[in-house]
Structures are given as structure tokens and as C-alpha cells.
Amino acid sequence: MDLSNSNTAKNLADAFAGESMANRKYLFFAEVTRQLGMTELSKLFRETANQETEHAFAHFRLMHPELVVNDIASLTEEEKKAIAARCLELAIEGETYEYTIMYPDFTEAARADRDTKAAVEFEAQQVESREHAQIFRKAVHNFGLLTPIEHHHARQYTEALQSLDGVAPAQKATSSNPATQKWICRQCSMIYDPVAGDPDSGIAPGTPFEAIAEDWHCPICGATKKTFVPYEEAVAA
């Protein structure tokens, strides 16, 4: 579907929001009526909520066709990763909007209205949204780190296979420049690149491994800094 028409895109977003809100509202009603002992009415609300979910999913698929999976078997690993990365990107975008704009504005308005309960609720949600965004960013970070790890393992297996045929492994060496010397975790093979740093852990790009605080841990497996050793890379012929 062509969503270049701004009205259609807006209408789909509004419809998705409406169906999503109806889903949560009916689930709330289902819980209330369950507590009141009205089992059948609670069941009705819950069933309707499930239907609203399907409606919302249908709208969201039209809004984001890049996330639609029709034949999982036909997808390459790179395509699967791209879809997962897009999901994380959208999640971060939403949570960031909540804690940077939406909840701060709502909190300010609640205070202006002298609605203390609402202000406290909005402030709490602002903190939680920030935490959610950080969790998703960490997932993106870890997700991206898997690629060099997989390449490292692939090189190891290739060299092992070649050695069986009598092929000598390529000569390797560490860098003499701390600013470019990579380090590898012996526990999970995560590779720390000083050029990229580890921003999610507060390590700025350009930080040599030796300059990292001793209480830093591997962002993948949680191993201590002492678990890392200099990473040897193939020497250009």
C-alpha cells in the first residue's frame, strides 16, 4: 500500500491507536467485572479485547510493511536481523518520545492543574520509559556486537579446516597503537574496539582499553575487564 498520502498514513496511525486503546480498556473492564464476580461479562470483554488486538495488528502491518513476515523459511539471517533491528529502532523511538516530551509535558500540565496524583504517575512513567529505552538501546548494542563475534568464529573455523589440509594459518599480530588495539573477551568473544568505545556503558568512542575503569564489564556476557586479552588480527601480506 502506498502511504505517501499523508491522510492515509495519519488515519492508519489514529486507527492503530484507537484499537490499541480499546484493547487495554476492555482488558481493564474484564478485570473489574471479574472482581465483581461477573464471569461471563468478564469473558466477553476479554474476547473483544483480543479482537481489537487483531485489528490493531492489521493496521500496524500496513504502517510498517518492512516488518511483515509471510514466509520465515525464505528469509536470510541478514534479513531476519534487519527486521529485529527495525523493531528495536521503533521501540527506542517510542520510549524516547515518552520520557523526553510526552510525560514531561503531562507532568507540567498536571502540576498546573494541581493534580498531584496525576503528576506523580506521569513522573513515574517518565522514569520507566527512560529505563525501557536504555534496555532497548542495550539490546541494539548487543545485537550489533554479534556480527564481529560471528566473523571471528567463522575465521577460527576456516583456519581449523585449512590446517587439516596442511595450510598454515595466516600470521597475526596486535597493534602497537593503544588507540586502535582491539581486545577480545575470552568468555564470549565480544571484541572491544577503542574507535567505537562502549557508549551504552559510558565509554566514549576513542577510549583505549587501558583507560577503561577496572569495574567495567563485558556488555555481552558480563565478564570482568580482566577476562579480555589483546585481539590479534591477520597481518596484511
Domain ranges of the chain: 1-66, 69-168, 170-234
Per-residue pLDDT at 136: 79
CATH tag for 170-234 (out of 3.40.50.1980, 2.20.28.10, 1.10.390.10, 1.10.1370.40): 2.20.28.10
Residue 173 makes CB contacts below 8 A (sequence gap 6+) with 232, 233, 235
Helix-then-strand count for the chain, H and E: 5, 5
CA of residue 210 relative to chain centroid, distance? 29
Closest Cα partner for 235 from 171, 168, 186, 146?
171
Per-residue pLDDT at 166: 76
Please give the grid coordinates belonging to residue 74.
525464505
pTM of the model: 0.59
What would the pLDDT profile of 30-75 be if each residue is shown by its tens digit? 999 999 999 999 999 999 999 999 999 999 999 999 999 999 999 9
Rounded CA separation 62/49 (Å): 20
- Share in percent of the chain as helix, strand, coil (round to 5): 65, 5, 30
The pLDDT > 90 percentage for the chain reads 47
Structurally, at CATH architecture level, domain 1-66 sits in: Up-down Bundle (1.20)
